[in-house]
């Protein structure tokens, strides 16, 4: 007697891609819990304590002292619980939240292990995370502005680097505000070049971006050797000062982290809010998203596709120029060859990680900022991890993100496709 199975039952039995992903992540989290237990908990002396300083010099003294082994045991148990909860696949939509919490706890256990029997400035590290997230976030926002109208901006690295050079020279010659304006205009000009190559001449957008990056690296390296090395006074632009936000800057821990910075950090916060509101609550944002999703339909209802793309790509260049100015007018106060060192490409990964959303770009920027800070701070703590592996940290995070560990991200439907008006 033949037994038939209805399609509905087969569909229920077959696991969805989200459920399969939850299973894989749950297994990985259980493995991470075992690693934390074996290496971080059982790998340190039970008498060791980790001392975390939660205040900066000049602030009221605030420290957190915790048993290195006990905290690692607690973290291992918590991650194992989260892994088991994810494996049940009853709340698949919360998988990313469980993954984020587990990875945050893993980072805490890692820092506790690294700081065992030592003192470590945790708030200093978190403050550095915010600072180092700025160029990554701005790079992600620059890419977001372009890709929302279906133009892939691989040239962020070149825009950041060239803007940093121009900002240094202009800032040294005419003051830091002139440097800021020059850097932003430089980013906008390179954005216009990318737009012309991609929109007017329909050159492959990836190739156009790579060409701009190679040109920017070669040009700035040549000019740095020919001009800045023989005229050092053009390589000292000064630096924007730090300002504490009244009341908010006095909040313990959070005040030092978020509200005691220079104008670039505050400008990034404001830019994220403005872009979110503009993209989802204004006519400009609606038209931009329509051009990125279905340019032919947008053209049919009267939206100028070419003009919208030109405008947004130049806006993205302005944002990248702002990020380039940060590198030399707020962070290092001088220009060096290949100063960006891949920050533009990391910004693209942050854009994908943030799912082409402004607040997502900010959150992703903080993740990458933490990876960059971790690379620096672990060297200070003298961990047994080789320095070569520490240098790989931000790029490993980039590979993991692009590989899709956070789930599949859907770009705008027309992303990278040239539009030919009928």
**How many Å is the Cα radius of gyration of the chain?**
24
Q: What is the dihedral of CA 52, 56, 61, 62, to 10 degrees?
A: -40
Q: How far apart are CA 353 and CA 350, in angstroms?
A: 5
Mean pLDDT of the chain, nearest integer: 89
Residue 5's pLDDT is 55
241 and 154 in a single domain? The answer is: yes
The range of the structural domain enclosing residue 57 comes to 15-117
Question: Dihedral of the CA atoms 285, 314, 131, 243 (nearest 10)?
Answer: -90
Residues 113 and 137 in one domain: no
Please check whether residues 91 and 194 belong to one and the same domain: no
Q: Tokens representing 145? A: 């502005």
Answer with the one of 88, 117, 146 that is the final residue of a domain.
Answer: 117
Residue 147 lies in a domain: yes
Q: Which of 82, 117, 152 is the last residue of a domain?
A: 117
The last residue of one of the domains, among 57, 85, 117, is 117
Q: Minimal CA–CA distance to 141: which of 295, 400, 353?
A: 353
Closest CA to 135 of 311, 372, 334: 372
pLDDT value of residue 3:
53
Please tell me the distance from the alpha carbon of residue 119 to that of residue 123, in angstroms, as a whole number.
12
CATH (domain of 280): 1.10.3470
Whether residue 410 is contained in a domain is answered as: no
For residues 286 and 171, membership in a common domain is answered with yes
Instruction: Tell me, yes or no, whether 243 and 104 share the same domain.
Output: no
- In-domain check, residue 179: yes
Residues 55-59, mean pLDDT to the nearest whole number: 73
Residue 414 counted as domain residue: no
State whether 103 and 164 are in the same domain. Answer: no
Based on the domain organization, do 150 and 50 belong to the same domain?
Answer: no
Same domain, 147 and 111: no
Same domain, residue pair 80 and 223:
no
Instruction: Please tell me which residue, 383 or 262, carries the higher pLDDT value.
Output: 262
Number of domains in the chain: 2
| CA separation for the pair 90, 41 (Å, rounded) | 30
Residue among 320, 316, 319, 340 at smallest CA distance from 328? 340
What is the rounded CA–CA span in Å between residue 249 and residue 154?
37
Residue 62 within a domain: yes
Cβ–Cβ contacts within 10 Å for residue 306, how many? 15
- With 0-12 CB in 10 A as exposed, 13-18 as middle and 19+ as buried, what is 285? middle
Query: Does residue 10 lie in a domain region?
Result: no
Residues 199-208 as b or e (16 or more Cβ within 10 Å = b): beeebebeeb
Asked if residue 413 belongs to a domain, the reply is: no
pTM of the model: 0.90
Residues 207 and 323 in one domain: yes
pLDDT digits (tens, 9 = 90+) for 211-257: 999 999 999 999 999 999 999 999 999 999 999 898 888 888 888 88
Residues paired with 49 in a beta bridge: 67
In this structure, the answer to whether residues 198 and 334 fall within a common structural domain is: yes
77 plus 211 within the same structural domain: no
Determine, yes or no, domain membership for 9: no
The beta strands (E) that lie in 271-342 are given as none
Q: What is the pLDDT of residues 272-329, one digit of tens each?
A: 999 999 999 999 999 999 999 999 999 999 999 999 999 999 999 999 999 999 999 9
Residue bearing tokens 């007018």: 329
């Amino acid at each position: 007697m033949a037994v038939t199975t209805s399609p509905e039952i087969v569909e229920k039995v077959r696991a969805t891609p989200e459920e399969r992903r939850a299973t894989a992540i749950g297994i990985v989290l259980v493995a991470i819990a075992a690693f934390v237990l074996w290496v971080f908990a059982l790998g340190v002396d039970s008498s060791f304590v980790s001392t975390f300083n939660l205040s900066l010099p000049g602030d009221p003294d605030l420290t957190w002292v915790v048993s290195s082994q006990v905290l690692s045991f607690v973290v291992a148990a918590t991650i194992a619980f989260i892994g088991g909860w994810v494996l049940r696949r009853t709340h698949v939509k919360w998988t990313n939240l469980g993954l984020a919490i587990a990875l945050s706890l893993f980072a805490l256990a890692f820092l506790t292990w690294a700081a065992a029997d030592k003192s470590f400035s945790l708030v200093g590290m978190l403050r550095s995370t915010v600072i180092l997230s700025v160029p990554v976030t701005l790079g992600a926002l620059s890419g977001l502005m372009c890709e929302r109208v279906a133009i892939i901006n691989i040239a962020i690295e070149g825009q950041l680097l060239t803007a940093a050079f121009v900002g240094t020279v202009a800032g040294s010659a005419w003051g830091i505000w002139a440097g800021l304006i020059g850097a932003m205009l430089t980013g906008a000009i390179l954005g216009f070049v990318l737009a012309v190559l991609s929109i007017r001449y329909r050159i492959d957008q990836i190739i156009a971006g790579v060409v701009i990056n190679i040109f920017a690296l070669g040009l700035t390296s040549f000019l740095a050797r020919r001009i800045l090395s023989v005229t050092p006074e053009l390589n000292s632009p000064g630096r924007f000062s730090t300002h504490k936000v009244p009341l908010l800057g006095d909040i313990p821990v959070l005040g030092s982290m978020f509200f005691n910075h220079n104008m670039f950090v505050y400008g990034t916060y404001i830019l994220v809010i403005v872009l979110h509101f503009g993209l989802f609550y204004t006519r400009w944002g609606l038209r931009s998203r329509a051009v990125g999703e279905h340019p032919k339909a947008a053209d049919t209802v009267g939206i100028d596709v070419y003009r919208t793309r030109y405008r947004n790509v130049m806006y993205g260049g302005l944002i990248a120029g702002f990020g380039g100015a940060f590198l030399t007018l707020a962070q290092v106060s001088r220009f060096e060859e290949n100063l960006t060192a891949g920050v533009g490409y990391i910004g693209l990964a942050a854009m994908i990680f943030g799912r082409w959303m402004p607040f997502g770009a900010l959150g992703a920027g903080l993740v990458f900022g933490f990876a960059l800070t971790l690379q620096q701070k672990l060297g200070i703590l003298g961990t047994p991890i080789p320095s070569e592996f520490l240098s790989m940290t931000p790029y490993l995070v980039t590979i993991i993100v692009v590989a899709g560990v956070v789930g599949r991200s859907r770009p705008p439907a027309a992303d990278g496709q040239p539009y030919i008006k009928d």
